[in-house]
Chain A
Amino acid sequence: MSATDTPTDIKSTLRGTFMRYGFLIIIALFFAFFTLYTGSFLNPSNLVNIVEGSSILLILALGMTLIVALGGIDLSVGIAFDMGAAFAIVAMKEYDIVWYLAVLIGIGGGGLVGLLNAFLVVKLSVSPFLATLGTFFIGSSIQRIFTNGGGPISHRRVDQEYRNLAVGDIYGIPTEIVIAAVVLVIYFIVLERSVFGKRIHAIGLQKKAALISGIKVNRYVAVCFILAAATCAIGGIIGSANLRMFTPLAGFSYLLDAIAAVFIGASIHPHGRPNVPGTLIGVLFLGMVANGLNLMGLDFNTKDALSGLILVGALAIAVGQKKLR
């Protein structure tokens, strides 16, 4: 008995190690692969491109992380993104409001989306999935109504400072990256180090037990939805600064990537929990794959299929990891 036990133990330990770090190993393999097969992948400017191109997604994915950690999901992150852009651009264009106030108004506009979600989830007890899906439909429709079917609202003479949120740099680092990094650090502290975050994780793991332990569950759920939406609005503001216009429904394209990043992050967590460092890895992974496949000159349509395959592979690892325990 004991003779047969030992080798399997070693084997399972090895397998466990691979499963645990499998995703990071895969990232390293892809990194090496892209470096070898494309001439320019490892160029510093390309690496900066990847990070900069991932900034907005990271901001939205962090908002999503908050909601998934709470045990829900937010399908309306794109709407909050759009509202952030719309409120800021309209404030500057129509009301001639100074750029930094417009930023605050944009964040507030995104927050309204979260407020609606919070109302639906907390007061009307609609499940987060359906509540945010409803918000998504309503928000999409409102945008079309106010833009006569989805025409962009352009504001070419926007303040340069506003423009710089997307195209400027701070000590040589693109402003976009700096903003995303600040949001990242705040989210890390809030979700992984603060008392607030511990309570959010408790609610996400076992809501009733959290309630009985005296946590104000409803208040936390409401605050999280508002906070997440306001965060997504920051992404929308950067997006509108880049193009100097509000493009209706532009936020939708981030939704699935944000969900993917959060769940990639959860799958590499030892206890399968959504977490801030994991989300960062998920976002950078998605950015790296997109960029690498691009540089390889792959057809647009093939690219999506490959991204999908890579993602499914990652999820398979996550399931394998769960089975081992």
Chain B
Amino acid sequence: MQNDNTSNTQALLSMEDISKTFPGVKALDAASLGVAAGEIHGLVGENGAGKSTIIKVLAGVYGRDSGTIVLDGKALADVTPHSVHEAGVRFIHQELHLVPHFTVAESVFMGQEITGPFGLDRRAMRTRTEQFLSESLHTSISGSTLIRDLGIAERKLVQIARALIDDKARLVVFDEPTAPLASGEIDQLFAAIRRLKERGIAIIYVSHYLGEITELCDRVTVFRNGVDVAVLDHVDSHSADTIIEHMVGRELEALYPGKSHRIGDTLLDISQLSDGSRFRDVDLCVRRGEIVGVAGLIGSGREELTDTIYGLRQATSGTVTFDGDAINLKAPWAAVQKGIVLVPRDRRHDGLILDMTVGDNINLASLDEVASFRIENREKAARRAEALSDKIDIRPRRVEAVTRFLSGGNQQKVVLARWLATGSKLFILDEPTVGVDIGAKVEIYQLIEDLAKEGAGVLVSSSDPAELLGLCDRIIILMRGRVVEDRPAAELTIDSLLALTTGGHVKAASA
């Protein structure tokens, strides 16, 4: 449509040969990024590929070592947050930074208040806010609503309004804007972004989600290892494979390793389990060498179920049999002793001690093995951590690095590595690949398959239907705390799985 000849339109932003080195890391190596006026430009790459670094260089957060930045035909020599703002570049950060008990109008105008002869002109601010929200973002939110009464998507819109209310924006950078949003809310946000484009504002859209990129963007720049490895001038729903290949730098035969594991006898058998509030009468069985998926929306009781199996919460009725014995787990340590381990969904808060080293985190559950007379043997600890890092391919292998600074994929591998050598029999993986880049995702899938091959039972709880279908032998579907379906994965499709989790009817299977 409008973007048929985007390559001919005048470049609004042109960043050329940008380099940036941090101690020990070349984050950007003569990377370039060009954005045309009035386009939505996707920026993708694995964690550590340099996409957030180049955004921070543009924002004036990091100084560049070399390279030129031209905005609107003018070369920017001294890039500071202030000068960039003056030039009409706005950033919509992942975090919201809104005060819950402020009104929408107060939030939008915070730091840029309209004043009249009697101080703040609240009425003008409210009118202007509502006008902007309805005209520019097509949404009707009252300016006097409190932020805390808004949904996350609406808050995102308020955040956008705050950045754009002065009508001077030429280029808006969205950094992973959909991370906290539900799918319906994403549509609302996309409509707002398209509306901005119609008004002639250029957009840089940074995201991990290729589905969003291909749906929304006119052009895409792919980063890998600090360089822009490809620019796609035409993006459609078939572009995802091309993008992935550029991102990982090799042909991607398949995301999933294939199911070659052999299923054995029953390992975990749950019968009529209830917790008195979030789930009821759940039956669930995991056999040795089997990968069982748990699907369900937020609030379906999926999270509470896996937490209860691990002993983080207590059941009120029902029985759990593990490895032939009836068990009643009071705490996670009791689960670990039995050989049940959990990789939690929120790895930064619940999975890792972020300020400890990679080695400490890997050894945390088996400290006794690297100790003599209860004193940690640092040599032995380092060797054990290194061996496990190699086994699970944590790159770069630096067991003495502080875990906080690792990429999402590497952090998840650290949590997995912790449980690998503890003789665990049942792995409960809650959202194992959330916030993990494609390359690491593939490796984690392979690892899960390997666990099953070695005879462990695996319970994967995930909100990604493709992941469940690609990995699992069998999927149970929870809705409002009850199991509504327990079927072999082969009998399900993404559509039927989505329909079942939302309580809709399965479309008549066409194939």
Contact = CB atoms under 8 A, between A and B. Distances in A.
Interface in B321-344: 331-333, 335-337, 341-342, 344
B64 interface: yes
Given A1-B64, A214-B336, A202 B353 contact: yes
A245 B65 CA distance: 70
Contact of A214 (B360, B365, B376): B365
Contact of B352 (A194, A209, A271): A209
Contact of B364 (A193, A202, A208): A202
A198 B351 contact: no
A199 B332 contact: no
B418 to A, nearest CB: 7
Interface string B40-75: 000000000000000000000001111000000000
Contacts of A213: 332, 336, 364-365, 418
A236 B365 CA distance: 37
Interface string A192-214: 01111011011001101111111
A195 B367 contact: yes
B349 A214 contact: no
Contact of A193 (B66, B360, B365, B375): B375
B63 A195 contact: no
Given A1-B66, A2-B65, A195 B350 contact: no
Interface string A3-18: 0110000000000000
Nearest to A202: B353
Given A195-B376, A208-B350, A5 B336 contact: no
A216 B331 contact: yes
B312 interface: yes
B376 A206 contact: no
B332 A214 contact: yes
A198 B367 contact: yes
B47 to A, nearest CB: 21
Given A209-B351, A212-B350, A202 B356 contact: yes
B375 A195 contact: yes
B344 A212 contact: yes
A195 B374 contact: yes
A189 interface: yes
Nearest to A219: B333
Interface in B393-417: 402
9 contacts: A4-B63, A194-B371, A198-B364, A198-B367, A202-B356, A206-B350, A209-B350, A210-B353, A214-B337
Interface of B: 63-66, 310, 312, 331-333, 335-337, 341-342, 344, 349-356, 360, 364-365, 367-368, 371, 374-376, 402, 418
Given A202-B360, A205-B355, 12 more contacts: A1-B65, A189-B375, A194-B375, A195-B367, A198-B367, A208-B350, A211-B312, A211-B332, A213-B336, A213-B365, A215-B364, A271-B355
Interchain residue pairs A-B with the least CB separation, the first 9: A214-B336, A195-B367, A195-B371, A214-B333, A213-B364, A216-B333, A214-B365, A202-B353, A205-B353
